[in-house]
Amino acid sequence: MAKVSAKAKATAKTVGRKVSPKKVSKNIVVESMRATPLAQQNIELVERKGIGHPDSISDGIAEAVSLALCKMYLERFGEILHHNTDQNEVVGGQSAPKFAGGEVLEPIHIMLSGRAITQVNGERLPYSTTAINATKEYLKRFPNLDVNRHITVDCRIGKGSFDLIKNFEALKDQCKMDGRGNHCLLANDTSFGCSFAPYSDTELVCLETEKYINGAMKKKLKETGEDVKVMCSRNGKKINMTIACAMVDRYVPDADHYASVIEEMHERVLDNATKYTDYDLALAINHADNPATGNFYLTVTGLSAENGDDGSVGRGNRMNGLITPYRTMSMEASAGKNPITHVGKMYNILANWIANDIVKKSNGNIVEADVRILSQIGRPISDPETCSVQLFLAPGADEAKWQKEAYAISDEWLENINKVTEKVVKGQVTVF
């Protein structure tokens, strides 16, 4: 297998008019890369934090609060007003788990923060009640968590920055309509979003394993909680998978039963993983367990947040559901940002859709696509400062043809960026 040189270079053939980059429509630049795609490299690391991980809970709450505020604003005013709820903290509680059932001693504390429009024309809005109710409703998806006894919620969402609100509200008067309204939506931050396609085998195994554990497998093994973390490392064509999975103590009477659950889970997870790869698979579950010292991963609620494990928005999975240190990534938290003009959300989602469309429509001619989109505060979101598309072509692929196709796909999605808002508000986009 060919090694990738640190000096590997890209062939920068810009698709579009032969003028300076600033004058090219949408500032889209498509390059063909002369490097080895990730799936063909020797080493790969991938992580997935499950829905019950404290960081994922923070992301889920942030997005639930944003969507609830969107609904409230739409019902009252017919439009989504400025807000960003991408700041909250899950502060771990205290518990005393034990075989056959323990108890939560101190509740998990959730502090909501961020900014929103809190009043209009002197009318105070129920933003705080809306946010707290959305939080509690979201947490009902964890069946072993008693929302009334096991959590407390403190809403500290405040009024947004005057400058950002002014920018957000003045957009109708500052720019020309384009038929879709995109040119009247101005970026409220200078930031970038990025993504890639397709998933490698390692990434797909990592993602689908957590979904399986917190999905179909629950019907067979109710002992498993929702706090699951999956870490995969690939060396050549062997994937080593390490899983941490909280167990719900009331369903586990003793150490022997615990061991039998781990054994059955091991078999089921490997069987499921073979659907997504032909690589050799090795699996370790709850590797820190030590039966000799009585150390087991037991919880009362199925969540490690019950006993000192904290969580924050944006510290976990990226928009595509994974943490991928061998891939292009943005540190922006997509969850909780407004789905209108915050490019930290909009561009991460859009980059993912562009990359996937490019690969899908190439019918195997494009092995991998990386997309990075940079905004400029106050500039229309449909007209980024830069949209960089990098293609890894299959041997013999028509370079000019697929560069042109990638350019057209990128341009079309930017023209229809309003579809991101539509799908987010309908709850059709997963951002972590």
**For position 15, what pLDDT does the model report?**
39
**For position 307, what pLDDT does the model report?**
95
Helix, strand and coil content of the chain, in percent to the nearest 5, comes to 35, 25, 40
pLDDT tens digits along 262-310: 999 999 999 999 999 999 999 999 999 999 999 999 999 999 999 989 9
User: Crossing angle of helices 343-361/418-425, nearest 10°?
Assistant: 100
**For position 378, what pLDDT does the model report?**
86
**For position 170, what pLDDT does the model report?**
57
* Residue 193, phi then psi, degrees to nearest 5: -125, 155
CA atoms within 13 A on the CB side of 178: 16
Instruction: Give residue 185's region: left, alpha or beta (phi > 0; psi -120 to 50).
Output: beta
What's the CA gap between 13 and 32, in Å, rounded? 7
pLDDT tens digits along 336-352: 999 998 999 999 999 99
pLDDT tens digits along 57-72: 999 999 999 999 999 9
**For position 165, what pLDDT does the model report?**
55
What's the CA gap between 86 and 64, in Å, rounded? 10
Residue 430 near residue 404, CB atoms below 8 Å:
no
Name the H helices within 179-299.
Answer: 201-213, 255-273
**Which residue numbers in the chain have pLDDT < 50?**
1-24, 162, 164, 177-179, 181-183
- Nearest residue to 297 (alpha-carbon basis) of 226, 245, 250: 245
The torsion defined by the Cα of 150, 155, 156 and 159, in degrees rounded to 10, comes to 160
Q: What are the angstrom distances between the C-alpha of 175 and each of 82, 83, 256, 320, 378?
A: 18, 21, 68, 32, 10
Residue 348 near residue 334, CB atoms below 8 Å:
yes
User: Crossing angle of helices 418-425/54-77, nearest 10°?
Assistant: 100
Domains of the chain: 10-38+191-199+328-425 (3.30.300.280), 54-178 (3.30.300.10), 201-312 (3.30.300.340)
What's the CA gap between 42 and 428, in Å, rounded? 35
Residue whose pair of structure tokens reads 């789905």 in the numeric block? 339
**For position 12, what pLDDT does the model report?**
34
Summary count for the chain: helices (H), strands (E): 9, 19
∠ Cα 360 362 366 (to 5°): 100
**For position 274, what pLDDT does the model report?**
97
CA atoms within 13 A on the CB side of 260: 11
